[in-house]
Structure 1
Amino acid sequence: MTYPVISLFSGAMGLDLGLEQAGLKIMISQDIDPWCVKTAKANGFQCIQGDIRKLIAEDTECSFLLKPANLLPEEPFAVVGGPPCQPFSTAGKRLGTNDPRGSLFMEFIHVIKMVRPRFFVMENVKGLLSVAIKHRPLKERNEKPLKPEERPGSAFEIIKQTFAELGYKIIYGVLDAVHYGVPQFRERLIIIGSRDHEDIFLPKPTHFQVHQDPSYRWRTLREVIEDLENNPGPCASFSPERIRFLRMVPMGGNWRNLPPEVIPEAMGGAYKSSGGKVGFYRRLDYDQPSPTLVTSPIQKATMLCHPTQDRPLSVREYARIQQFPDDWKIEGKLSDCYRQIGNAVPLGLGKAIGQMLISVATKSAEIKTRRVRGTSVHKNMSEVQRITLETII
C-alpha cells in the first residue's frame, strides 16, 4: 500500500527521508531556498521552489501541490512540514509580535484546509509552547495582571484552536531525537493531527541512557563518525587563535577546562556575561551523543569541535549525526551545506513518526474490516454504519 505525502518547507529533506524509511512516499516537496530545492532534486525528489505565500495566492486550491503528485483532495495520507512561526514584518506590527496568524503557519493551515490529508505532522522549536502573542515592556510587567494575549503560551493556544476549527484531532509534545536512535540531543515540538479522529499517539522512545541491551542505549558520536577521522570531507576551519585555546580543552570539555590564567583572554567580553556559556570552546565527546547541531559549527557561542582533532565537525560528519545516507548529495557552498543539514529533522525522529502513522492506519483498517465482517447481513444498514463510525471516531 502507498502512503502519499505532501511536504512543505522541506529543507534538506530530513523529515521526509525518515518518513520514507518508515514506508511513506513523498510525492511532492516545496521550499523557498534554491539550494534546498537543488539538494532535493539532486537526490531524485520532485520539489517546487517558491514562496509558499505567493504559490497559494496564485492557486488557492493548491493544485500546484496536488497535480504534480497526481492526487485529489482527501487522498494524501499526510501533509508534513515545519513552518517558520515568526510573523511577517508587516503583519507583526498589525497583529502582535508573535501572533501565529501573521506567520507562515497560516499557509500550512491553508494547505491542510484545501488538501484535507488524513494526517498532518508539524514540527517546530519547543519554545513555541511558551510564546506570548504580545510582550508587555519589562517596566510594566508588575503594574497589572497580564492580558490573555500577554500570557505565556497564548500563541500556541491560537494554533490549537485553528487546527480544531478544521476538524482535526491533535496531539503534541516535545520529543528528543536521542530517544529514537539519533546520536544527538535535539528537542523538537511535534504536532500530529488526524482528520478522522483516529487514535494517534506520540512515538514511544526506543533508545535509553541506561539499558541492559546495548542496542537500545543512546547512540554515540564514536559509532557514527570515528571512521571519518582520516577522510572527513569538506570542512570549515577555526581561526589560529581559537585553535590555540581549543588545544587546551580535553574531550568533552569547554571553556571551563581552560587554564584559569587564559580564560579572560579566550572568552573576551563573554567572560562576565550571564549564562552557562557551555558552547564556548566546546570539544565534543566520542562516548556521548552530539549536542544539537546548529547552522555553523564555528560560531563562538556554539562551537562544535571534533573530539580528537582541532577542527570543527565536517559536513559529512554533520550528515552522519543527522543520519543522512553517505550517498546523499548536498548542493551549495560549504556554508549552505552546513545550514541545510544543521536545520534538518534527524531521520530517526521522522521514521518513528512515520511508523506511528502507519501503525494507526493499519490498526484502523483492521478494526473496521473485522467489525463490518462480524455484523449480521440482516441488521439494519444504519446500525452497520454506526458501528463502523464508532470504531473510527
Structure 2
Amino acid sequence: MNKKLLSLSEVADMLSVSKETLRRWDTSGKLNSVRHPVNGYRMYKPNDLKIFEQLGFLFDSKPDVKKVKAKRKYRTIELFAGAGGLALGLEKAGLSCVLLNEIDKNACQTLRVNRPKWNVVEGDVSKIDFTPYAGEVDVVTGGFPCQAFSYAGKKLGFEDARGTLFYEFARAIKETNPLIAVGENVRGLLTHENGKTVAGMTSILEELGYRVIPPQVLKAIFYNVPQKRERLFIVGIRKDLNINFEFPSPNKKILTLKDALKKGVLYDIDVPTSSGQKYPKDKAIVMDMVPPGGYWRDLPLPVQKSYMKNSFFLGGGKTGMARRMSWDEPSLTLTCAPAQKQTERCHPEETRPFTVREYARIQTFPDDWAFAGSLSSQYKQIGNAVPVNLAEAIGQAIVSALNQLTKKPT
C-alpha cells in the first residue's frame, strides 16, 4: 500500500460503490473512518478495509507478479483495434499481431505510423475473410461495441447474432480456431438487457468450442494505470486444451495523476507539451473558481445556479460537472472529448482541459506514440482505447496460460 490513509474517493473506487454508500456505512458502523487532520475529510486506515475480501491483495505479503516470457512466438488477430492500446499492451507482453482491423481511417493511420510492419486492414470487418489464418493464430481479441441480440430461445446460437459486431468477432474465431479468444467491453455489458447480452455471447462462444471463464471487470488503477477506468474481459479457452487461465493479480500500489504527468515511476520526463482544447472565456472564469479535486458544488451558490441551470434543481451528485482533477488521485475515466460539460476533466493547476499528450499518458501510451487526424479525432482515439498497461497485464495472463502447453496444438 502506498499511503497510510485512503480517501473516500479511493475506497469508493476500489469497492465499486458510491461515496454516499460509504458515508452510510460510516453512520451504521459497518466501516470506520477517521477525519483528515487538516481538511476534515473522511479517510480510511488500510487495516479497517480487511473486512472486504476483494481488497485482500492489499495485505498479502507476496510481491507483485513478475513478468513472464513467452515460450514461443504467439500470434494474434485483433478486431476493432482503434488507436492500438490493446495491441501495444499485448505486444509489450510478448504477443505478435498478424492482422489488425479498424474502420476509422484516422485510427488506422495512427496504427500504420507507429507500427509500419503491422498488417492493418482498414474497413468493414464483415468484408474480411479470416480463413487464410485458420490454425495459424493463437489468440483473437476484439473490443466489439455492445449491441442487443434478438432472443428466440433460452440459449443464443451463432447465427442468432448475425448483424451485430459481436457476430463478426465470433466469425473470426470460428474461421481461425484460435487457442484463446478475448473480448473486452464496458462494465455495463454485464447488466445490458438484464444480463442476457453477455449470457448470449457466452453461449455462442461455447457453441464454437470454447470454455468461457466467468467474465471479470478489471479496474485499471490496480494495473499501473493512473486512471479510474474499468473494462470487462470475456475469455474463452478452446475446450480441447488442458490449460488454466487466471486474470492478472492486482498491484498494491495505486498511481496518481502526478505519476502520469510528472517524471517518476511511469515516465522518465515530465509530459511533453502538445496541442489541446481550450475553454471559452465564460467557462474559464467558472473553472478558475474550482479547487483541485473539486467540482460544481465548490462554486459560490449564485455561480452554481448559473452554471448548472435546470440541473441544479434535479438532485444527484453530477460530480463530473465543473470537475477539476487532483494531483494526488488517479484521473477520472477519460472520455472521447475532454471538455464535455457532464464529464469535465480540468487540469489540476491550469484552467484548461488535458492536452493530447496528457490524455495519452493517463492511458499509459508512450510519448512517442503519435496520433493521426484532427484534434477531436485524436482525443476520441485515446479516450476509446484500452489503457496500455492494463492491456499488458491481460497479455501477461494470456502468455502464462499459453506457456502451459508443451507443444503447439493443431
Q: 1:75 to 1:223 in 2, by over 3 A?
A: same
What residue is the counterpart of 2:226 in the other structure?
Answer: 183
Tell me the CA shift for residue 231 of structure 1: 5.1
2:257 aligned residue:
221
Mapped to 2, the partners of 1:358 and 1:93 lie a distance apart of 35
8 Å contact 1:8–1:29 — kept in the other structure? Answer: yes
The residue aligned with 1:34 is 105
Distance in 1 separating the partners of 2:309 and 2:331: 26
- Aligned sequence identity (%): 41
- Amino acid of the residue matched to residue 81 of structure 1? G
Question: In the alignment, which of 193, 199, 203 is matched to residue 244 of structure 2?
Answer: 199
1:108 and 2:169 are equivalent in the alignment: yes
- Given the alignment, which residue of 344, 352, 362 partners 1:303? 344
Q: Is the 8 A contact 1:181 1:219 kept in 2?
A: yes
Matches within 5 A, 1:253-292: 253-292=294-333
Distance 1:181 1:230 in 2: 17
> Corresponding residue for 2:292?
251
Q: In the aligned structure 2, how far is the partner of 1:27 from the partner of 1:220?
A: 35
CA change 1:316–1:103 in 2 (3 A) is same
Cα distance, 1:93 vs structure 2 = 12
In the comparison of the two structures, how many residue pairs are matched? 322
C-alpha separation in 1, matches of 2:229 and 2:123: 28
Contact 2:272/2:357, CA 8 A, preserved across alignment:
no
TM-score by length of 2: 0.74
Which residue of structure 1 aligns with residue 212 of structure 2?
Answer: 170
Instruction: Please state how far the C-alpha of 1:279 moved relative to its aligned partner.
Output: 0.6
Counterpart code for 1:127: G
Unpaired runs of 5+ residues, structure 1, are 67-71, 133-151, 209-216, 370-391
Q: Distance in 2 between matches of 1:229 and 1:43?
A: 22
Q: Distance in 1 between matches of 2:369 and 2:143?
A: 21
- Per mean C-alpha deviation after superposition, the further-off stretch among 99-108 and 345-354 is 99-108
Say if 1:168 and 1:267 are closer, same or farther in 2 by CA, change over 3 A: same
User: Using a 3 Å threshold, how does the CA distance of structure 1 residues 245 and 20 change in structure 2: closer, same or farther?
Assistant: same
1:128-167 paired onto structure 2 within 5 Å = 128-132=189-193, 152-167=194-209
C-alpha deviation, 1:266, in angstroms = 1.3
For the residues of structure 1 that align with 2:113 and 2:323, how far apart are their CA atoms? 34
**1:303-336, Cα deviation, whole Å (9 max, x unpaired):** 1000000000000001111111111110000000
CA displacement 1:201-226 (0-9 Å, x = unmatched): 211112x3xxxxxxxx1111111213
For structure 2, the residue ranges without an aligned partner over 5 or more in a row are 1-71, 154-159, 264-268
1:235 aligns with 2:296: no
Deviation at 1:153, TM superposition (A): 0.8
**Equivalent position amino acid for 1:309 in 2:** E
One-letter amino acid of the counterpart of residue 320, structure 1: R
Q: Which amino acid aligns with 1:327?
A: D
- One-letter code aligned to 2:334: L
